[in-house]
Structure 1
Amino acid sequence: MSRNKIFIPVLAIFCLLLMVVWLAGGFQNKLAPGNKSELPAYQGTRYTVQKSLIAMIEQVPASVVAKENTLVSSRLLAELKTLNVRAGDKVTAGQLIATLDDAELKAELQRVAAQQAANSAKLEQATKQLVRNKSLNEKGLIAINQVDEWQATVNELQAQDKALQEAYRSAEVALGYTQITAPISGKVVARLQEPGSMVSPGGAIISLFNPLQLQIEAPIRESQVKHIQLGSEIKVRIPALDISQTARVSEMVPIADSQARSFIIKLDMPLLQNVVPGMYALVKLVLGEQAVIQIPTNMISKYGQLAMVEVIESGQLHKRYLRLGEETGNKTIVISGLNEGDQLAVQR
């Protein structure tokens, strides 16, 4: 029994030592010391990395706006009687789009017309009486003061006639304001009132814009303004429609926004299908030139988010990871990872 107590621990220790020796490679054949065999030198096509000048382009967020847009408003305090258009409808300049209640204005026009008729009758009678009195005065039958009295009456009635004529014209103009027409040709954006509502002078009824004349409006930083002039041609892009076009700078607000430290510029753009005000746009500003490293895009191997090229060093190929910039055409800008003069292996 005492021998078993000694034998079992000794056996366990022995097995443990054998396992340690095995894990340490004690039972494997060791390689003889020597130099590692070198791979053959790269003999394929090489590409020499060089710097090239490219335009420094900054993309500025912008918006599409209508060059011609307006709010059609009432000039009177009256009830909106009819509204003949809805959002999306096309209208032409001068087209009747709404009417206001005109009952009171028509009554006012009739009242002024009646006053004109009464005043004209009095003026006619007073003029005849003035002629008779002048004749009697010349014969010495009446005093001159009677002639003066009728002359004053005629003058007063003539002044009233002129005032009533002006009142009639004003009433006609006011009555014309009940017929609301489109000031420009374009498309209705929204109805801002509905028939039956009371509108006040200056109260908007509908909004219009001209879809044939659109602009790009962009805020430009103070440091960028020196690169822009009126009439300059600048490339713009509408990302939603994947459209790129050249636009001309037509307006530059001469005062900077004191909070954003930016200037507003507007660019006239040609008519493009499906482009409407409010769409997001990008203005591409050329701010000069800079020297960068560009390599052909097909020489870059990508593994997920990693980009890599094979660089030739001492005749051997070595993998090198890159940080890439913008891809333009068939070349990609390398931000870091390569230096001018590096040799790259052209992939076959």
Structure 2
Amino acid sequence: MGNATIKDIARETGVSIATVSRVLSNSGYASQEVKEKVLSVAKQLNYQPNAVARSLKIHRTNTIGVIIPDISNSYFMKISKGIEDSIRESGYNLLFVSSDENANKEKEMLQVLFEKRVDAVVLATADESGKMVKTIKSAGIPIILIDRKLKGTTLDLDLVEEDNICAAYQLTNHLIQQGHTKIGVINGSFKVSTGIERFMGFQKAIKEYGIEENQDLCYNGNFTEEDGIEAVKHFLSLEEKPTAIVSFNNTMTFGAILQLKKSGLKIPEDVVIASYGEVEAAQFLTSPGIISIHQLPYEMGIRTGQIILDRLVHNIKGPVHEKFTPKLYVSD
């Protein structure tokens, strides 16, 4: 029998709907004989509880909506893994969606998660406005920002992020200390805080050394592999080519590495590569000597999960602003 209901079980057992409901929800009194009878019939009818109806009754779905800008980026998946490991034992599950760095899609996904009555939302935003976020927060649903701040809103939201300025400064400073003054920069989107802050870290470093900013050596992208490819094509077309390239996320770095290899250039002999974030796929290429920022995405995910439990289980109020500081890593 498909889609068996509580009414069906009540009819088969000859007990009231209210009694069946108490037995199935394990609440209230019912004799042991009635319990065994109801549970036996429920099993025979292959009764499945209506999760939607139950969530409406208890005002909880035990789901956490997670919106990330790039589901193929290992950095965001490690954050998600940390969140999952942190909250799973408390009975919560993650519902993933990707904005693809698209502000309109992000707003649509926020609306979908809101309508699905998720208990909390984790957001790595691609958007500049907080209108939908404000709506969700006003409904009493906790929102935790990860990796990126939300512009255009004064809402007090939980935030787990990196010290982007400090890490980008470390990366650029290392290149300058190696003697590089012609440094090509592959920027991420300036629509999000990570793109803005990482470029600020670069600017801080070159200013300290009295190096003039060269717009020809700056390529503004959107955190995609194609951006890395196009940036290298641009740099190689210049009369004065950069001796080093700093790329402000791992996906763009991988595109840059592919294009440098395609162009017949060796890393680091011909061009030094410095990446904000480790490029896992680079280990399959003969590209030793890549300088990178070692990020802590799993640890960020764990902390985010703890904040979720603080809001939903422990009833601890926020907001919390947690900032992780990545470290410089130079491979052999």
Q: State which structure, 1 or 2, has the greater radius of gyration over its C-alpha atoms.
A: 1
Give the alignment's TM-score, normalised by structure 1.
Answer: 0.19
Q: Is the strand fraction higher in 1 or 2? A: 1
Greater relative contact order, per chain length (Cα 8 Å cut-off, separation 6+): 1
Give the alignment's TM-score, normalised by structure 2.
Answer: 0.20
